[in-house]
Structure 1
């Protein structure tokens, strides 16, 4: 039995907030994702595994195959006011016996950084994991070299569990250290309030 079919309820509709909505990944997102990944050439950063525009179709196929095998629930982040595709994210490493999961394989177009869309995406994903599924723990990982991502995860309110040294090879062939963060169920209300406050301060009501 696969992890997803073993008790993880996939969202029946997109997860939507004020700034962003998370749609189930489909081949129809190809053009938007190719445009997004070329915004700031996010694929060219040596510490990431973000695909090039010409490799995006294969990446979509790979993620959908993992979904079919019950190993991933992939999403595409779309800006609410313009329908611009921002990037990708996913639920992975789903373990219904705990229950726990990881939010990962995330990237966003460079022009979206600092706009609040990533924070709201994480709020939507975390709320679904903790409040709909009843997760006890949600983990997030990033490269040691990706200081921007490490700081962004810490700002969510996640706690750093440790550094796994030599966990993967980068595109350059170098070994990469992976930083692991987590949020536990009893910490979620505080994390949620912090994220809501950040978003409220950024997008005050009219």
Structure 2
């Protein structure tokens, strides 16, 4: 959706919408498939690794499940669900392998805002085309759906994730001091970033270049 078309939608009083609950989102080299229990079972052996939880996934290492069955039981209640959220399995379209998960959540039509998060990838996908492709796909879905603002919230001590969000072209809006607890009971401070619809064309161009060259 172009900026002028987006403005026309808002001017006409249309409310922004998430993708359909059953919609598969096609990226350049990945697919985002609606997350199911079967998908969670597929993710268990690739995400239930210490390196993933060390980065803060699920609240940090203290949340690390004992086995794959425990991961399925835990993640089924952890990922965002309901009418204001869409959770996805990220699949590499070239290999057909599951490589991670990500979500759109906290959709607020009145404010024109939605959040991208609950993202984790298998270590083999780190530094590849997967994250920029998935982010481009989710951002396009959000802005094409009429949202004005996309936000990212992450643990302030997760420098890897903060660097990745800044690389997208997102602007840091806030630091929420000790606003929630990690799995081990320590208090987490949350960094909040955003991308506005006016900024999307430039962000999209940067992501497309990264996807081509990854």
Q: Which category of TM-score, normalised to the shorter sequence, fits these structures?
A: 0.7 to 0.9
Aligned pair count reads: 193
CA distance in 2, matches of 1:165, 1:116: 33
Q: Post-superposition shift, 1:175?
A: 0.7
The structure 1 segments of at least 4 consecutive aligned residues displaced by more than 6 Å after TM superposition are none
State the SS of the aligned residue for 2:118. Answer: strand
Mean CA deviation greater in 165-174 or 51-60 = 51-60
TM-score, normalized by length of structure 1?
A: 0.85
Extract unaligned runs of 5+ from structure 1.
1-5
The verdict on how the C-alpha distance between 1:59 and 1:148 changes in structure 2, with shifts beyond 3 A counting, is same
State the SS of the aligned residue for 1:49. Answer: helix
Extract unaligned runs of 5+ from structure 2.
1-14
Q: Post-superposition shift, 1:144?
A: 0.8
CA distance in 1, matches of 2:183, 2:77: 18
CA distance in 2, matches of 1:7, 1:80: 28
RCO (CA 8 Å, sep 6+): is it higher in 1 or 2?
Answer: 2
CA distance in 2, matches of 1:63, 1:168: 15
Q: Post-superposition shift, 1:72?
A: 1.8
Give the match for residue 197 of structure 1: 209
When the two chains are superposed, the root-mean-square deviation of aligned CA atoms in Å is 2.0
State the SS of the aligned residue for 2:32. Answer: strand
Q: Post-superposition shift, 1:13?
A: 2.9
TM-score, normalized by length of structure 2?
A: 0.82
Q: Post-superposition shift, 1:29?
A: 1.1
Mean CA deviation greater in 151-160 or 77-86 = 77-86
